[in-house]
Amino acid sequence: MSSPALARVVELVVHRGTQRVLDGVSETLCQGEVVAIMGENGSGKTTLIEAFAGLLPLRSGDVIWAENGNSIVVRDSQGRRNQPPSMGLTLQKGGVCGDETVMERISVSLSVAGIEHSDDQIMELLSLWGLEHRANDRLAHLSGGLRRRVAILGGLAPAALSNSPLVVLLDEPSEGLDDSAKDILRSWIRSLSSRNHAILMATHDKDISSSADRVLTIRDGSIEEQIGKSLGEICDLPQSGERGNQAPVSSLVKWSVKMEVRNPIETVGRVTPALVAILLSYALLSGQDFQLQDSRLHASLILAPAFIAAVSSPALVQRLSESDCGRWWNAVAGPIARPALSITGASILLPIPITYLSWAVLSGTFNGGEYEDVAIWLWIPALALMDLAIAATALHLLVSDLSRSSSAPAPLILIVLVWPFLELTDALSSIMDNGMSWSLSIHDPVVSCIVASLISALVWLAAVMIPDY
């Protein structure tokens, strides 16, 4: 009797650009099975790994995983996509961020998969791979070989500590590893197989492929199958632990916040152009009577710095583009990745303080005078700028996920957010001229702010939904 299937692809057709890389491919990955994918460069090895992970749009076919006896459509050709079950994943470029420490990378891989763990267990894993002395070092400070060890261990760790079968996807796992690390990898592959975990790996390395039960060779979009040698010694692995519920969103939020606190380039990168905008506006109005100027002009100048901070490219985009870190999160978190990242990467804390700073500098009446009441209600349009910031971040993430993101006109796409900015300008201008009003008539400040938030919400919804459909 064959082992239960953990993941399968059915009649898969995948294009890379205009080229059909996989043509009607169907494969099943069963418990305890090690499958190696081989072929020439560009034959489709990575494509098959990423298709199993649900990362690629499909021209035809389905990607189906099994969990607790239920079938989950991870991705299909109709655009449907669901979060895959817990898995281990190492992409060809690693999928790691240089600001992470070694210990954090392993902890994140386990947390996303819902694997309960302790620091002692992580240190045990690191010691088996000769990494315990670098546990608190950032990945950016490691050599290429050690960084690759961390990426491979991050893919294997969820299976090593799981008491139930998992799928592990490895893309070129031996690339960049020395001979001792390759020996560890081979023994871990067979040991995880003995615990009923399923491993699918793309490789050029015949020594690594010799540990496989089956070898798939891709030629011209089709697959030829051979029986593997199943070579490799069984080694002692850490004792497996309990599995809880997957927590990709909470793990992603914690990771994003921790990276920014450690290296606050996000805050600095957004505050700097906002301060420049305030100073330029101050220079423009210097020597003029603020109260005699057009209120709409000043409302736009007061809100412009916060708007600039909101639409600036977030540092999160650069972090996610490093070593395919964003693609790793996209795979393990599924379709919830971009909505969550658009919120964690947005400058939701900056619009209110920047708006009040701009008001204080430009009005000169922050502590009293005719416009004293304006300062009391200034937070209302500034609050709506938070929604605009989330929509802008979603647009940046949308562009960064394109196959040629550097050639995409991201600034032109952001022009759509000028509309909600103009609505907020109207709201602040009305507050300055007539005071705060809570009626719901057209052009009332509250109505203008609500309209701005709704427009931003629609832009956000389009940005996070369109790519999958």
For the chain, the average pLDDT equals 88
Could you tell me the pLDDT band of residue 126, with boundaries at 50, 70 and 90? very high
The DSSP string of 8-68 is EEEEEEEEETTEEEEEEEEEEEETT-EEEEE-STTSSHHHHHHHHTT-S--SEEEEEEEET
pLDDT at 449: 94
Residues 296, 175, single domain; the answer is no
Asked if 201 contacts 208 with a C-beta cutoff of 8 angstroms, the reply is: yes
Residues 289, 175, single domain; the answer is no
Can you give the CATH number for the domain in which 179 is found?
3.40.50.300
Tokens read off for 148? 């690759």
Pairing relationship of beta strands 34-38 and 60-67 according to DSSP bridges: unpaired
Q: Average of pLDDT values for 77-102? A: 92
Closest Cα to residue 158, out of 334, 340, 335, 332? 332
- Which residues are bridge partners to 16 per DSSP? 19
Task: Kindly list the strands in the beta sheet with 60-67, ordered across the sheet, starting from the edge strand earlier in the chain.
Answer: 19-30, 5-16, 60-67, 70-76
Residue 347 pLDDT > 90: no
pLDDT at 372: 65
Residues 216, 315, single domain; the answer is no
Q: Average of pLDDT values for 105-122? A: 93
Helix (H, G, I), strand (E, B) or coil at 177: coil
Residues 303, 212, single domain; the answer is no
pLDDT at 415: 87
Q: How far is CA 293 from the centre of its chain?
A: 45
Residues 187, 336, single domain; the answer is no
- Percent of the chain past pLDDT 90, that is, above it, reads 54
Give 368-384 pLDDT, tens digit per residue: 445 667 888 899 999 99
Residues 192, 110, single domain; the answer is yes
Domain count of the fold of the chain: 2
- Could you say which of 172, 193, 227 is where a domain stops? 227
pLDDT at 307: 95
pLDDT at 369: 45
Residues 199, 262, single domain; the answer is no
Asked if 378 contacts 355 with a C-beta cutoff of 8 angstroms, the reply is: yes
Give 187-242 pLDDT, tens digit per residue: 999 999 999 999 999 999 999 999 999 999 998 888 989 998 888 788 888 887 76
Residue 390 pLDDT > 90: yes
| Structural domain includes residue 340 | yes
pLDDT at 68: 82
Give 134-143 pLDDT, tens digit per residue: 999 999 999 9
pLDDT at 293: 57
- Which residues are bridge partners to 3 per DSSP? none
pLDDT at 287: 60
Tokens read off for 261? 């606190």
| Least-confidence region, from 18-32, 55-69, 245-259 | 245-259
Helix (H, G, I), strand (E, B) or coil at 460: helix
DSSP 348: T
Q: Give the burial class of 408: count Cβ atoms within 10 A of its Cβ; 0-12 exposed, 13-18 middle, 19 or more buried.
A: middle
Could you tell me the pLDDT band of residue 366, with boundaries at 50, 70 and 90? very low
Residues 389, 445, single domain; the answer is yes
pLDDT at 154: 96
Q: Average of pLDDT values for 65-91? A: 91
Residues 49, 99, single domain; the answer is yes
Closest Cα to residue 169, out of 203, 123, 145, 205? 203
Residues 276, 217, single domain; the answer is no
| Structural domain includes residue 272 | yes
Residue 105 pLDDT > 50: yes
pLDDT at 257: 85
d(CA 49, CA 51): 5
Could you tell me the pLDDT band of residue 355, with boundaries at 50, 70 and 90? very high
d(CA 186, CA 179): 11
Residues 202, 316, single domain; the answer is no
DSSP 243: B
pLDDT at 365: 43
Q: Give the burial class of 137: count Cβ atoms within 10 A of its Cβ; 0-12 exposed, 13-18 middle, 19 or more buried.
A: middle
Give 428-449 pLDDT, tens digit per residue: 999 888 888 887 777 789 999 9
Give 157-179 pLDDT, tens digit per residue: 999 999 899 999 999 999 999 99
| Structural domain includes residue 241 | no
| Structural domain includes residue 214 | yes
pLDDT at 386: 93
| Structural domain includes residue 242 | no
Q: How far is CA 81 from the centre of its chain?
A: 16
C-beta pairs of 295-298 under 8 Å, 24+ apart in sequence: 295/429, 295/432, 295/433, 296/425, 296/426, 296/429, 298/362, 298/363, 298/429, 298/432
pLDDT at 269: 80
| Structural domain includes residue 233 | no
| Least-confidence region, from 11-20, 150-159, 415-424 | 11-20
- Could you say which of 173, 193, 227 is where a domain stops? 227
Residue 346 pLDDT > 80: yes
| Structural domain includes residue 234 | no
| Structural domain includes residue 240 | no
Give 284-331 pLDDT, tens digit per residue: 776 665 554 577 888 899 999 999 999 988 888 888 888 899 999 999
Rounded to 5°, the CA angle 170-176-181 comes to 80
Output the CA–CA distances (angstroms, integers) from residue 170 to 46, 91, 231, in the order listed.
9, 6, 18
pLDDT at 1: 43
Helix (H, G, I), strand (E, B) or coil at 222: strand
- Could you say which of 195, 227, 259 is where a domain stops? 227
Residues 408, 322, single domain; the answer is yes
Tokens read off for 469? 């459909």
| Least-confidence region, from 276-285, 286-295, 337-346, 354-363 | 286-295
Output the CA–CA distances (angstroms, integers) from residue 183 to 153, 211, 232, in the order listed.
13, 11, 9
Domain that holds residue 38: 5-227
